[in-house]
Amino acid sequence: MSGEPRARRLFFREAIARALAEEMRADSRVLIVGQDVGAFGGSYREFDGLFAEFGPARVRDAPVAENAMIGLGVGLAAGGFRPLVSVTYMDFLMLGLDPLVNYGAKLRFKSAGRMGAPLVVKTTAGAKGQGVAHSQCIEAWLMSVPGLKVVAPSNPADAYGLMKAALRERGPVVYVDHKKLFPGAGEVPLEEAPTPIGVAKILRAGTDVTLVSHSYMVRIALEAAERLAEAGVSCEVIDLRSLAPLDVETLAASVSRTGTLLTLEEGQLACGVGAEVFARVGERLGPIRAARVGPLPAPVSSNPALEAAVVPDAARVVAAAKTLCARARARTGEPE
């Protein structure tokens, strides 16, 4: 019936739990391994209810040993299962890069396509008062690995849809969420459908600047776009959603309309997501007017004032966009 609801409002963490529950009911090969994922329900409660429904055989707590956890996950995936390995802090994903990069991501190539590692590594990034070793965003490290996909939702609907898509992939996927996203809520479609990996989404149409971001920084981008609109600057905001592969078609089409590209990320700018976006769009369109906004080149302190000083905010985005627009006007001879 047309009057029936088509979506339900869920917290970000609830959207993840719903996707996992649906995929575990549909496919007995889907397993969860990680720290505190069992009866505790996960550090951010994103696994709530799963242990009660599926039991310890399919939702298994692991010791604090990320290399062993991911190695176990790669082995399970090669053996026919579809495991999700939960790494509580992205900083400690570094400990598991050997099995993930050298084995999981390469298994399809080593076996001429006869074997795969349908593994999901879910990990939580971002600054939220926890200091230098619990606040890093290293998504860009992973984007250059052949055979590895990387996704980063910014809202509950995509948290749900990208998790379902990741659990159905043939090869390994790193699913990156953010500490500051878990308390947020949003509409999630009732339809049990995945969000396509490799497809960006235009969240706000604009004509002057293409503003590209992912994960929690999308919220900062939207805030900055509101402020810029009040100053007469129209921003087109694009949520990447997928970092590997990148949706270069959507990005290039937008920049060809606006003439200006501005990227925003919480990870470091050197060899970062924005640098890759800039390069790929430039290869498609030729020389473009662009700038990147990111954190200061410093570790993230647990001191609130110092953390705020390092992590990019809307004010920095507004200033960068205004500078780009001023340069554009200067080149065309338009008045300020």
CATH number at residue 214: 3.40.50.920
pTM of the predicted structure, to 2 decimals: 0.95
- Average pLDDT (84-100) is 97
Q: Write the burial class of residue 277 (CB in 10 Å: 0-12 exposed, 13-18 middle, 19+ buried).
A: buried
Q: Are 268 and 224 found together in one domain?
A: yes
- The answer to whether residues 182 and 219 belong to one domain is no
User: Which contiguous run of DSSP H or E holds residue 323?
Assistant: helix 314-332
pLDDT digits (tens, 9 = 90+) for 174-205: 999 999 999 999 999 999 999 999 999 999 99
- Please check whether residues 14 and 163 belong to one and the same domain: yes
Q: Where in the sequence is the domain holding 239, given as residue range(s)?
A: 201-332
> Of the residues 151, 169, 189, which one is the last residue of a structural domain?
189
- Both 176 and 208 in one domain: the answer is no
Same-domain status, 157 and 250: no
Choosing from 14, 23, 134, 236, which is the catalytic residue?
A: 134
Shared domain check, 214 and 138: no
What would you measure as the largest C-alpha separation in the chain, in angstroms?
68
- Judge if 31 and 55 occupy the same domain: yes
- Whether the per-residue pLDDT at 2 is higher than 80: the answer is no
Task: State the pairing for strand pair 7-11/185-189.
Answer: antiparallel
Mean pLDDT of the chain, nearest integer? 95
Residue that is last in its domain, among 189, 210, 238: 189
Beta strands of 131-252 (E only): which ranges?
Answer: 149-151, 173-178, 185-189, 201-204, 209-213, 235-239, 242-244
Candidate list 23, 46, 66, 139, residue with the active-site label: 66
Q: Are residues 16 and 65 in the same domain?
A: yes
Phi-psi region of 245 (alpha: psi -120 to 50; beta: other; left: phi over 0): beta
Give per-residue pLDDT as tens, 220-277: 999 999 999 999 999 999 999 999 999 999 999 999 999 999 999 999 999 999 999 9
- Tokens matching residue 168: 């159905």
Pick from 155, 164, 166: nearest CA to 216:
155
Per the structure, how many domains does the chain have? 2
With a CB cutoff of 8 Å and minimum separation 6, the contacts of 311 are 127, 266, 295, 300
Do residues 175 and 266 share a domain?
Answer: no
Active site residue 134: yes
- CB-CB contact of 292 with 268 (8 Å): no
Q: What is the pLDDT of residues 56-67, one digit of tens each?
A: 999 999 999 999
Asked if 150 and 242 sit in the same domain, the reply is no
The enclosing H or E element of 85 equals strand 82-87
